[in-house]
Amino acid sequence: MSNIITYKIFPEIKLVLELAIGELHYKPFEDYKRRLIDDSAFDSSFNHLSVFYHSEFCFAKEDIENYKNFLAENKKVIGDRKVAVLTSAPKHVAISTIYANAVKDLPMNFMIFSTYKAALSWLDIPLEYESKFTQVINDIASS
């Protein structure tokens, strides 16, 4: 399986669906975020659903601090929004929790979930979008 970091923007529900597959390292993740914020459809007020079920975090603690600094320096990415992270492994939860603590002074609400239903409920997204998200993820994973 190759390493993939990608997204799809759903403007009708003001959401960015983010997907990581394979090993997730800091530098490619920062490069990905730069591509995202340069997308003309990107809006910093859109909520994010970040799906990390199929990935392995390969971040060091200093990478999280570097990422926080990257966010703070790039005002285009900062917005008052919710970020729901879908995880499937204890390491995901640990790193996501460290990240949540690091960015608590930025204007976003960050929560960690293990199910789409809980994440979508918290994001106020209709549950029928779960099948759309699953299809997008399956299409990306199989390509």
Q: What pLDDT, on a 0 to 100 scale, did the predictor assign at position 63?
A: 87
Both tokens assigned to 85: 């992270």
Q: What distance in Å separates the CA atoms of residue 141 and residue 143, rounded to the nearest whole number?
A: 6
Q: What pLDDT, on a 0 to 100 scale, did the predictor assign at position 98?
A: 64
Q: What pLDDT, on a 0 to 100 scale, did the predictor assign at position 59?
A: 81
SS (H, E, C) 88-142: CCHHHHHHHHHHHHHCCCCCEEEEEECCHHHHHHHHCCCCCHHHHHHHHHHHHHH
Q: How far apart are the first and last CA of the chain?
A: 10
Q: What distance in Å separates the CA atoms of residue 102 and residue 114, rounded to the nearest whole number?
A: 21
Q: What pLDDT, on a 0 to 100 scale, did the predictor assign at position 40?
A: 95
Q: What pLDDT, on a 0 to 100 scale, did the predictor assign at position 90?
A: 65
Split the chain (143 residues) into runs of 10 and give each run's mean pLDDT: 87 95 90 94 94 84 83 79 84 64 72 91 93 87 75
- Say what the pTM is: 0.87
- Residue 69: half-sphere exposure toward Cβ, Cα within 13 Å: 7
Other Cβ atoms closer than 10 A to 77: 17
Both tokens assigned to 114: 């293990």
Name the amino acid, one letter, at 139: D
Is there a contact between 21 and 140 (Cβ–Cβ < 8 Å)? yes
